Amino acid sequence: MPEFFELHIPSTGQIAKSKLIWNNKCEVGISFESLGALGSPSSSDGELSARMARLEDEITALKQTLKHLQKLVDQTKAA
């Protein structure tokens, strides 16, 4: 068995980059180096930048919502 290999997990549609840790005749121990979607290419810099921008926009929107809700709670407490 090779030291590094990809373990395909069909039930979840994932590929786990794996490393062999120990091996005896009947069992092996492995560690997972990373997990990815089956058949998906690694993300390009442009895709990552676009995803980061979307996530940052989502965080900003969530912060605004939280601020608005906190104001409503404060008004309720004051009344």
Q: What is the pLDDT of residues 13-31, one digit of tens each?
A: 888 899 999 999 899 999 9
Cβ neighbors of 21 (< 8 A, separation 6 or more) are 28, 29, 30, 31
Give the SS3 label for residue 40.
Answer: coil
Q: What is the pLDDT of residues 29-65, one digit of tens each?
A: 999 987 776 555 555 677 778 888 888 999 999 999 9
* Single pTM value for the model: 0.44
Structure tokens at 47: 């895709």
DSSP 3: S
Query: How many residues comprise the chain?
Result: 79
